Amino acid sequence: MTESKSPKKNKKRMLIVLAVLAVVLLAVYVYKDKIFNAIETKSAQKENSQGAETETPISNQTIIQGAGKVEPIAGVDIKTLKIVSLGEVTDVKEDGGFSASLYKDGVTTVAAMLPDQDFGLLNIVLPDAGGKNDNLELTAETTAVSLIFMTPYIVTPDPDKANKILAVIESDESVKELAAVIKEKVGSTGDIMQDAEYEAAFNKALESVLEKLSQQI
């Protein structure tokens, strides 16, 4: 008796499983845009912080050397930071000084990555003007500006366009608020990109800049 009923029970269970899968697939299809947008928004921030680490030199670009200083981070030994630029990794000196490879005529991302984290202090470096690339800074302020610039909605390799866009980002009050959050949280928060206050500040700054760019550029 038991053996004769077993196939029926298995078939019933299989039908139930198939029905549940059908409902799940239908839900994914109906809400696919919202799901993909949520995934894109979340991954964009992580990609931004990792962008400098994965950047490789463009073969037809002339590469020069720049230098600067990293802003001290509370609770972090500055010598444990690693400068990442154009695929090269170099050390930070005890006084915060560093050197980095830069595109002579292009847009370069320079990062001071925190140990064991996918986050670091950033700066978007444009072609040198008046020796500025020998006095680079990696601070909470330059990081906030860079994070917004590096989003897929804004980033550009064109130095002239980048210059105009960066001017808008730098003047935005919400970006300054994001910088304040970064300065407070970086080094003291395990994963700053998972911090609710940081995420809210980032989203607010991005929305504000996008709105301004749509009106000005």
| pLDDT average, residue stretch 75-83 | 93
**Choice between 146 and 187, residue whose per-residue pLDDT is larger:** 146
Which residues share a beta bridge with 122?
A: 111
Rounded percentage of the chain residues whose pLDDT exceeds 70: 71
| pLDDT average, residue stretch 87-113 | 95
13-27, 120-134, 197-211: the lowest-pLDDT one: 13-27
127 close to 166: Cβ distance less than 8 angstroms? no
47 vs 155: CA distance, rounded Å: 12
Closest to 123 (Cα-Cα) out of 80, 170, 77: 170
| pLDDT, position 116 | 84
Which residues share a beta bridge with 88?
A: 85
**Most confident listed range (23-37, 106-120, 170-184):** 170-184
- In order of 9, 88, 122, 177, the CA distances from 189 in angstroms are 52, 27, 17, 17
- The answer on pLDDT for 21 being more than 80 is no
Rounded percentage of the chain residues whose pLDDT exceeds 90: 60
pTM of the model: 0.73
pLDDT bracket for residue 155 (50, 70, 90): very high
| pLDDT average, residue stretch 12-30 | 42
Alpha helices in 55-186 (DSSP H): 140-149, 159-171, 173-185
* DSSP element (H, E) containing 5: helix 2-30
| pLDDT, position 90 | 96
| pLDDT average, residue stretch 198-216 | 95
91 vs 79: CA distance, rounded Å: 7
